[in-house]
Structure 1
Amino acid sequence: MTDKQILQQQLWNIANTLRGKMGADEFRDYILGFIFYKYLSEKMHAYADHILKPDGLKYQEIDENSSKGKKYLEAIKDEAIETLGYFLKPSELFAELARKGQPEEGKENFILGDLTKVLSNIQQSTRGAESEEDFENLFEDLDLTSSKLGRTENAKNELIVKVLSHLNKIDFQLDNVTNDVLGDAYEYLIGQFASGAGKKAGEFYTPQSVSTILAKIVSSGKKKLKSVYDPTCGSGSLLLRVAKEVKEVGAFYGQESNPTTYNLARMNMIMHGVHYRKFDIKNDDTLEHPHHIDQQFEAVVANPPFSAHWSASPLFMNDDRFAPYGKLAPATKADFAFVQHMIYQLDTNGIMAIVLPHGVLFRGSSEGHIRQYLIEEKNYIDAIIGLPPNIFYGTGIPTCILVLKKKRSDPDHILFIDASRHFEKVKNQNQLRPEDVEKIVTTFRERKVEEKYSYLASIDEIRENDYNLNIPRYVDTFEEEEPIDLKAISKELKSLDKEMAKTDTEIAAYCKELGIETPF
């Protein structure tokens, strides 16, 4: 096993310590929170030791109560807040609390109060600093008073001490800067929790294969991206996936309406080594209260909730995101509202890719009107990719990826790709294999036409189809059945009749020997 796989398995085993106590989404919040605390602690410890090296000191050697120690801590705090964005005293480090919680001579050491205070102090340390918003309420989902951790205070303390002790033994390999071992392991855990969270999984996680497709599409032909934006960012995994496809991303922007998932996104960013100054994630409803409305982004990606409800208030007809279209997306299907919002935020030379249910391709009424406007008036739709059914956690509906550009290299055609038959079935879930992902991306980038897989439809052809973008209208995947040889089948039936007659005769003979009546 690789270092990454070993760490993934170790963390998952520890997560299962809590699993029997609560549901997948609940124990997710605890274990990911504790891993994050250990990460912050180890970063703080290493940074402080580096600062103290010229003085021949180690961070844990500082006497926090002495006047000299207090001066050291004050100086270290100023630099840590500027560089890391937060501060922890030596007594607040993860390893110290894990050690403190170990039983002595059969006596339990109670640390729940200390742990609660430390998590609060991390957030308090950022007050008034540039990083305050990035750490505010970050640990609010770690309710250490919850009865789900145990019926008594001692039971809760015992479980938490057990988890901290196991985590304390694991090497997070933070020095391995060439390979993001811990970040990938954290991502693995989020995916594992998503697979067990049912319908709730779609709120915070996009399957890695789909994320990879979106990331490769929006980064096509680029080594650096000035900015990447996800208006429904969930755990932030999609934003981070885009970063893996280029050498550098200038800044990450996102918005997430669920407070718990919003916390997870910020943790995920920091765990992947994204500096607090390089990401800006907000907690709010994107359609109703957009926070980055005055900015445009080079890459825009999203996997919004399918056919979500929104207000569709008439007031939005005065909103620059929606006004040019003349109609709003239906109140019960916000799919095109997200498309309109993302287009508004897309830079002139940018690319956006969004996952949507197939209905957006052919539904009529206001959605048909918006679709026609995008094709006829703006000509922004560059490609449509049909995905296999049952690849998203919590829903089996077929989905597609819409790719839009404000400046298209091939404005006379829209590329259609039908990848719905290219997958493997793993247990109850369909999965795109690496070769399936590569085929989709290569076909998109090269705008290849392949029989029963992809097709370049002219705008005139789409116009003739009344702006219906349903993929089967353009990619013919019909497979003719092999002709039936009636003579061969007739011959086979006669042969079977002879064999059955012979068998009946044998059965009748056995019945006669046994003195019983034949069954026919």
Structure 2
Amino acid sequence: MAELENNKDLMSVLWSGADILRSKMDANEYKNYLLGIVFYKYLSDSFLIKAYDLIYDEKPETLKIALDAYKEAVEDESGEELKEEIRSEFHYVIEPELTYTSFAQAANDNSFNREQLQKAFNNIEQSDEIFADLFADIDLYSNRLGTGDQKQSDTVASLIKEIDKADLLNTDAEILGNAYEFLIGQFASETGKKAGEFYTPQPVSKILTKIAINGQEDKRGLSIYDPCMGSGSLLLNAKKYVKYPEYIKYYGQELNTSTYNLARMNMFLHGVVPANQKLHHGDTLDADWPTDEETDFNMVLMNPPYSAKWSAAKGFLQDERFSDYGVLAPKSKADYAFLLHGLYHLKNNGTMAIVLPHGVLFRGAAEGKIREKLLRAGNIYAVIGLPANMFYNTSIPTCIIVLKKHREGRDVLFIDASKKFEKDKKQNKMTDEHIEEVLELYHKREEVEKQSYLASFEEIEENDFNLNIPRYVDTFEKEPDVDINAVLTDMNNIDDELEKVQGELVAQMKELTAEDDTIMASLNSLIEMMGR
């Protein structure tokens, strides 16, 4: 219970920092300031806690005490040795005057200097390749922060004071990671359509992860790959469902620079050590990655941009990711290019789960040829239809396609989960109960009336390799039979009631009088007409 309260308190403090910036810029901009400064506080606090532990072999009571001890050690001959010991584990060193604790003190004393914070960011970025350009999206000199140096500095100082209320000293990595996830989710809600760049709603993430991880929960050194990782939230979900979370190896790629930086911060805040995070900034389709280290993975999870444009250049027909299929995904719809990229990087005994629009299930031409080839090879294991309006960036219904590389049989399980949701503000939301229902259908792998169907390869072939879910799962609800006699009785009752009311109205009208002969003539004509 105390852990839950700590979690809520931390979320509340971190989110309150957004109030300082909300009136100055939109969520897609201020998320970079808030998340970046929270991350710097995490790096600084972790550094001071480690320094104190190395000096006194215990946890400090406060960060101020830790800072004082660190200052004293730095002035001593053993200072450099202490720094190097921390550097070997953390990959960075922070000087006493550049710690977050020092900045918070200065902000409270009205002596904060944003030049120092910029210097602190630069030092971290230059300390190791894993931190390169990490704070590039935080412009401490932006006019959005206010007009003139003083107002801009005051805004940053206010944010530093607010975030300083977050007690990271007594917060474990999981709570901090969850709080960071909460922030990312809140930004996704406020950002709307732009959120598709960095966030997959948790219910969808949970289904994808639990499906792909099934049977691999006990594997030590589980490898996970997301070629369109966004903020890294989908990758990090796996920690919740495995026996050895500390040994998971995460591989992710992201094109958007801001989102790539967000993912790197997210990894650290979830306690993932540098050796276990291999994140790459680049275009997933244009240049294959990874190519020179581990290249296939136990799990592949993907929520790529839907029906995105790509070059579809002829040279890709010689690319090992696509060469087996004889055709390329069309220029205007890269959905199958993403799918084939992910499948190429899947281990022979692994599982891949990808979210895509329903069009990939039935569109013809090149996509139809690729789909047929996948079905003939037995690669498509299941198709799950999700509710519409699940995502912040689109209201269209989507589906999860589950793929395997080598398996016996070529049957495909179809699940219609389109009605498994409840309304939640702007989006539809799947509850834990809905998620468990879908997972139960997935594991049963059999026909359940109006919910799931296991189609043989022959049935799919007869359907010309069309995977549109309604072809296999009949959700038609028959209308109840109409009782004609009851309808006639109701009509007669209505006629009787109408006649009665009309008679009462005519009687009341007969009592009306007027001195104007024209009005009386019109009234009498109306009475005569209604009395027929």
Q: What range describes the TM-score normalised by the shorter chain of this pair?
A: over 0.9
Give the aligned length.
505
Where does 1:154-193 land on structure 2 (aligned, <5 Å)?
Answer: 154-172=150-168, 174-176=170-172, 180-193=174-187
Q: 1:157 to 1:507 in 2, by over 3 A?
A: farther
Aligned: 1:40 with 2:34: no
Contact 2:412/2:456, CA 8 A, preserved across alignment: yes
- The alpha carbon displacement at 1:55 in A equals 11
Which letter does structure 2 place at the counterpart of 1:39?
Answer: Y
- The alpha carbon displacement at 1:14 in A equals 2.0
Task: Give the secondary-structure state (helix, strand or coil) at the position aligned to 1:416.
Answer: strand
Which letter does structure 1 place at the counterpart of 2:207?
Answer: I
Q: 1:396 to 1:40 in 2, by over 3 A?
A: same
- The alpha carbon displacement at 1:174 in A equals 4.7
Aligned to 2:12: 9
Give deviations 1:400-419, integer Å, cap 9, x for gaps: 001011133x5141101010
- The alpha carbon displacement at 1:499 in A equals 2.2
Aligned to 2:120: 118
Moved more, 392-401 or 167-176: 167-176
More helix, by proportion? 2
Where does 1:149-228 land on structure 2 (aligned, <5 Å)?
Answer: 149-172=145-168, 174-176=170-172, 180-223=174-217, 224=219, 226-228=222-224
Q: 1:341 to 1:266 in 2, by over 3 A?
A: same
Q: 1:394 to 1:492 in 2, by over 3 A?
A: same
Q: 1:390 to 1:164 in 2, by over 3 A?
A: same
Aligned to 1:109: 111
Contact 2:16/2:162, CA 8 A, preserved across alignment: no
Which of 79, 87, 99 pairs up with 1:93? 99
Aligned: 1:237 with 2:230: no
- The alpha carbon displacement at 1:511 in A equals 4.9
Contact 1:174/1:182, CA 8 A, preserved across alignment: no
Aligned: 1:82 with 2:88: yes
Aligned to 1:137: 133
Where does 1:88-487 land on structure 2 (aligned, <5 Å)?
Answer: 88-103=94-109, 108-124=110-126, 126=127, 132-172=128-168, 174-176=170-172, 180-223=174-217, 224=219, 226-247=222-243, 248=245, 249-294=247-292, 295-376=295-376, 378-408=377-407, 411-487=409-485
Q: Distance in 2 between matches of 1:506 and 1:80?
A: 95
Structure 2 unaligned regions, length at least 5: 515-522
- The alpha carbon displacement at 1:507 in A equals 3.9
For the aligned residues, what is the CA RMSD? 2.1
Q: 1:347 to 1:174 in 2, by over 3 A?
A: farther
Which letter does structure 1 place at the counterpart of 2:471?
Answer: R
Task: Give the secondary-structure state (helix, strand or coil) at the position aligned to 2:108.
Answer: coil
Q: Distance in 1 between matches of 2:172 and 2:321?
A: 44
Contact 1:62/1:90, CA 8 A, preserved across alignment: no
Aligned to 2:518: none
Q: Distance in 1 between matches of 2:351 and 2:478?
A: 38
Give deviations 1:145-173, integer Å, cap 9, x for gaps: 11111112111111111111111122135
Which letter does structure 2 place at the counterpart of 1:196?
Answer: E
Which letter does structure 2 place at the counterpart of 1:164?
Answer: I
Moved more, 503-512 or 308-317: 503-512
Task: Give the secondary-structure state (helix, strand or coil) at the position aligned to 1:39.
Answer: helix
Aligned to 1:27: 30
Q: 1:11 to 1:485 in 2, by over 3 A?
A: same
Aligned to 1:129: none
Q: Among the aligned pairs, what percent are the same residue? A: 45
Which letter does structure 2 place at the counterpart of 1:204?
Answer: F
Task: Give the secondary-structure state (helix, strand or coil) at the position aligned to 1:422.
Answer: coil
Structure 1 unaligned regions, length at least 5: 127-131
Q: Distance in 2 between matches of 1:448 and 1:467?
A: 20
Moved more, 456-465 or 147-156: 147-156
Aligned: 1:51 with 2:54: yes
Task: Give the secondary-structure state (helix, strand or coil) at the position aligned to 1:205.
Answer: coil
Q: Distance in 1 between matches of 2:240 and 2:57?
A: 36
Q: Distance in 2 between matches of 1:197 and 1:300?
A: 27
Q: Distance in 1 between matches of 2:23 and 2:356?
A: 35
Q: Distance in 2 between matches of 1:436 and 1:195?
A: 21
Give deviations 1:108-133, integer Å, cap 9, x for gaps: 42421111111111222x2xxxxx23
Contact 1:52/1:59, CA 8 A, preserved across alignment: no
Contact 2:421/2:434, CA 8 A, preserved across alignment: yes
Give deviations 1:169-226, integer Å, cap 9, x for gaps: 221355436xx11110110110111112122111100000000001101110222352
Give deviations 1:467-520, integer Å, cap 9, x for gaps: 111111111111110111122112112212222333334444555556575797
TM-score, normalised via structure 2 length: 0.91
Moved more, 7-16 or 200-209: 7-16
Q: Distance in 1 between matches of 2:57 and 2:419?
A: 62
Q: 1:504 to 1:354 in 2, by over 3 A?
A: same
Q: Distance in 2 between matches of 1:242 and 1:387?
A: 21
TM-score, normalised via structure 1 length: 0.93
Task: Give the secondary-structure state (helix, strand or coil) at the position aligned to 1:301.
Answer: strand
Q: 1:479 to 1:91 in 2, by over 3 A?
A: same
Q: Distance in 2 between matches of 1:196 and 1:498?
A: 57
Task: Give the secondary-structure state (helix, strand or coil) at the position aligned to 1:456.
Answer: strand
Contact 1:218/1:299, CA 8 A, preserved across alignment: yes
Contact 1:62/1:69, CA 8 A, preserved across alignment: no
Contact 1:206/1:392, CA 8 A, preserved across alignment: yes
Of structures 1 and 2, the larger Rg is shown by 2
Which letter does structure 1 place at the counterpart of 2:82?
Answer: I
Q: 1:149 to 1:70 in 2, by over 3 A?
A: farther
Q: Distance in 1 between matches of 2:325 and 2:115?
A: 56
Q: Distance in 2 between matches of 1:324 and 1:309?
A: 22
Which letter does structure 1 place at the counterpart of 2:149?
Answer: E
- The alpha carbon displacement at 1:344 in A equals 0.8
Which letter does structure 1 place at the counterpart of 2:499?
Answer: A
Which letter does structure 2 place at the counterpart of 1:404?
Answer: L
